[in-house]
Every structure is written in structure tokens, then in C-alpha cells.
Copies of this chain bind each other. A is one copy, B any other.
Amino acid sequence: MAQLAPAPSPRGVPEATVARLPLYLRALTSLSDRGVATVSSDELAETAGVNSAKLRKDLSYLGSYGTRGVGYEVEFLRHQITREIGLTQDWAVVIIGIGNLGHALANYGGFASRGFRIAALVDADERRSGEEVAGLKVRHSDELEDVIETLNISIAVVATPAHAAQAVCDRVVAAGITSILNFAPAVVQVPEGVELRKVDLSTELQILAYHEQRKNGAALALTAEQAVELAKAVRG
């Protein structure tokens, strides 16, 4: 079978835009809850926390869903974005690694309301097998491949310790999974065609620390060149 487009985004929606669609969806849901029927790009951008030129450009990749001189119909636009992201169907998710974080993810209410169904929980520790978490029995990781196939899982959430992450990813990929969300603080390699996203808590804190240091230590963190500039400035 010939491929029509180079794998992702047939209509060529930029990756940066895709990453913002969930944000717009949330803003629209919030407006909808407040009973707002129509919204301008300025107002919607404000609600979503982006600038309006960017918002309009982003939406233009999906189609012409607004009305000039008026704005966007909230429900209509919400439906279009929902469809674009693929949330008109629901996606079965397996969480692998039921430690503190896995527990928290299993109990996180935000998934179900957004088109994701946590279909299975898996852990390598036999003592956890059978334990009930968030209304689901934890299964032993021997059953991982079986669970993925039987329950028609599309997305794997990896919440294992770092040392186990690569092996787990290898197994779910071999079982046919092509979308992985990795919480383990480890570099994981996956083959071409498998989408891997990572959420790394300490990385985020480190980025904050970097900026915090720049703010506090401005005077201490002068480079040699800046010191020279400063000296010149002081001399007049």
C-alpha cells in the first residue's frame, strides 16, 4: 500500500500547533461551561494564555472555522478540535509500574473526562498482583503482552523505576504499541514510528533552578566580558 504522506500530519499541522490544541480545547470547554456561545480570537487567546496571532495561525491549519467580523462558535470549534486530536473515540491506556506515581496516575480523574480510559494496571512486584487500585486489579507484568492485545491498548504509560524503563518499552513496542508516555527518569530508545513523550519531574525543576540562579545571582554571575562592560560603565 502506497503511503500518501510522510507518516504524520497529512495536512501538515506543525508539531508546535498540535501541542497547543489541548490547551485550546480546555479553554473552549471552560467557555462552554460558562455558557459563552461565541468568542473572538483575542478572547480565546486570553483564556488559553497565548497571543491571538498565534491562535489564529494555529486554527488556520485545521481549516476556516471562524466568521470574519464575528469570531468562533464555541461548540463548533470545540468539536472540530476534538475531532482533529482524535478524542471522538476513546483510547485504552495501560499504566505500568504501580508505585506512588502509578497510583496517582491511576487515580487521576482528568483522563476519563478527556477521552482516555485506564484499562489496565501492571506491576512487576508479585505482592501487588490482585491488589485493587482505582477500581482495577493490578496484574503481574508477565501478563503485559496479553493485556495489551486482549484489551486493545493503544497507549502505554511507563511509571516504573528508571532501570526498568527500557525493557518495558521494548516489550510494549514488540506487543504493537506505538505511543508511549514515559515518566521514568531514563533515556529510552524506541524504533522509528513509535511516538515517545517524556515527562520528567526533576528536569522541570532543574530548568527552574537555572533561571532562578540567573535572577538571584546576577551580580555574582558576571562573565569576564560583562565585568569589563560594567567597569567601563562605572567609569562613565
Contacts and interface: CB of A to CB of B under 8 A. Distances in A.
A206 interface: yes
Total copies of the chain: 2
Contact of A208 (B26, B100, B197): B197
Interface string A198-209: 011111111111
Interface of A: 2-5, 7-11, 18-19, 21-23, 25-27, 47-49, 84-87, 91, 93, 99-101, 103-105, 107-108, 110-111, 114-116, 154-155, 157, 178-181, 185, 187-189, 193, 195, 197, 199-215, 217-218, 221-223, 226, 229-230, 233
B211 A204 contact: no
Contacts of A25: 206
Contacts of A229: 4
Contacts of A22: 200, 202-203, 206-207
A111 B202 CA distance: 6
